Structure 1
Amino acid sequence: MLIAILTDIHANREALTACLAHAAERGAQRYAFLGDLVGYGADPAWVVDTVREHVQQGAIAVSGNHDVAVLQEPGKHMNPQARAVVEWTRAQLDESQLAFLAGLPLTAEASGCLFVHASAAEPRQWEYITGTNEAVKSMHATRCRVTFCGHVHEPALYNLSMTGKISSFVPTGDSSIPLVTLRRWLVIPGSVGQPRDGNPAACYALYDDNSHELIYFRVPYDYETAAAKIRAAGLPQSLSNRLLQGV
């Protein structure tokens, strides 16, 4: 089955629309959403409704730290701009949309894979996987051979050999990577709605759980419209600039 892996949408309707269309054109049969559906962007209600529709059709979805923050007080490590958007987002969602976010699990397993927003070691602590130490800790926390996670906003791929040797690299878009079965893998597709690697194009990945092939994609989208919506909503100007610059 060909699974589209999408994470960190951050209420970006234009980016999600582009990625879903791209995945459908390439024959995606199932979708997995790895959290942070909301936050930063101007279309939280539309994004939540769209993901909910996919879940009703069999998609996987897990919770992210911004999703949780909308339901309760933001964590102490959340920056002031993100906090301001959390408050604004909460007012944009109705009871059913908030209930959907509240019902999302922290992790999910399917097709021999683990799906989680941050580290599998302590999902509720929202640890960033920014290097091999964090990656190993996360991989050791699950029995699954392949882990998909987000939270970092930049594409990355880690693998662990049977002898415990860890390696990593930054994948390029549209390249097919065989996730060989003698290794364990941790896949970070990058952010759909707010990439931070200097490239404003949206990120997502496709995984074939039969052939174990993984492809990272960069999808151009109308980020100028998404940025203009942020400004029109009265949200911080810097969040609009991030979309334009991909940082």
Structure 2
Amino acid sequence: HDKAVCGLDSVQTFNPIAASAIHWTADHIQKKNLDFLHRLKVGPQIIHKDITICHGAPFDEDHYIFGEFDAAEAFEHITTPICFFGHTHFPFVYAEKDHLVDGTFLTGNSNEVKIEKGVKYLINPGAVGQPRDRSPLAACAIYDSEARKIKFYRMEYDIEEAQRKILREGLPSPLAERLSLGI
């Protein structure tokens, strides 16, 4: 969506609800934030010797990683032990050891993953806004590089106020309604 907001992608590739949110954002975004979006590099970025970040899959930022088959392909394109990604809005951990890929969908709060040597990880911390995993709670993760563990969190926020703001701005009602459903 960010690429469409700054004119690097066509709004026409989005569904009408998403397109209306893109148009609203383009009309309201501060110049410094728009400039930041323009400066973002395309594709995966190695931000530390152990960490790659990307939006979707490391081989295509617009590709969704849904399942072990997608994860196996993604692992072929990363050189670091850990890759944080998003796009699906689902809190998920994929691990690859000895060319075997296993995935774990994270539910609830306070999940923790210990990072093992010799294992590669694809980590999706979930979404703070517009969740898709049927939980309305905001999701995030914190990586402790010294302890070699990732802790996943779910937090409450004022969903009703967020819904009111969405509707007050004239955005489509499904964007507000889905917040309380986590879809």
Please indicate the TM-score interval, normalised by the length of the shorter structure. Answer: over 0.9
> Structure 2 CA distance, aligned partners of 1:75 and 1:148?
26
CA contact (8 A) 2:11 2:22 kept: no
CA contact (8 A) 2:53 2:85 kept: yes
TM-score by length of 2: 0.92
* Stretches of 4+ aligned residues off by more than 2 angstroms: 73-77, 94-97
> Structure 1 CA distance, aligned partners of 2:82 and 2:12?
31
Deviation at 1:76, TM superposition (A): 4.8
> Structure 1 CA distance, aligned partners of 2:104 and 2:25?
35
**1:192-226 residue CA offsets vs partner (Å, 9 max, x unmatched):** 11111111000000111122101111011111111
Which range is displaced more, 97-106 or 112-121? 97-106
**Which letter maps to 2:15?**
N
Corresponding residue of 1:109: 46
Q: Share of identical aligned residues, percent?
A: 30
Secondary structure of the equivalent of 1:109?
A: strand
TM-score by length of 1: 0.69
Deviation at 1:139, TM superposition (A): 1.6
Corresponding residue of 1:169: 104
CA contact (8 A) 1:191 1:203 kept: yes
CA contact (8 A) 1:147 1:185 kept: yes
Corresponding residue of 1:220: 156
Deviation at 1:150, TM superposition (A): 0.4
CA contact (8 A) 2:112 2:149 kept: yes
Please tell me whether residue 149 in structure 1 is matched to residue 85 in structure 2: yes
**Which letter maps to 1:69?**
A
> Structure 2 CA distance, aligned partners of 1:83 and 1:206?
31
CA contact (8 A) 1:74 1:83 kept: no
Secondary structure of the equivalent of 1:235?
A: coil
**1:155-187 residue CA offsets vs partner (Å, 9 max, x unmatched):** 1110101x2111111123202210111210000
> Structure 1 CA distance, aligned partners of 2:11 and 2:123?
25
Structure 1 pair 82–205 and aligned structure 2 pair: CA distance change class (3 A): same
Corresponding residue of 2:3: 68
> Structure 2 CA distance, aligned partners of 1:156 and 1:94?
32
**Which letter maps to 2:179?**
L
RMSD across aligned C-alpha pairs, in angstroms?
1.3
Corresponding residue of 1:86: 22
**Which letter maps to 1:115?**
I
Q: Which runs of 5+ in 2 are unaligned?
A: none
Corresponding residue of 2:123: 187
**Which letter maps to 1:122?**
D
Deviation at 1:75, TM superposition (A): 5.3
Secondary structure of the equivalent of 1:138?
A: helix
Structure 1 pair 171–223 and aligned structure 2 pair: CA distance change class (3 A): same
> Structure 2 CA distance, aligned partners of 1:192 and 1:74?
25
Q: Which runs of 5+ in 1 are unaligned?
A: 1-65
Structure showing greater relative contact order (alpha-carbon pairs closer than 8 Å, 6 or more residues apart): 1
Secondary structure of the equivalent of 2:58?
A: coil
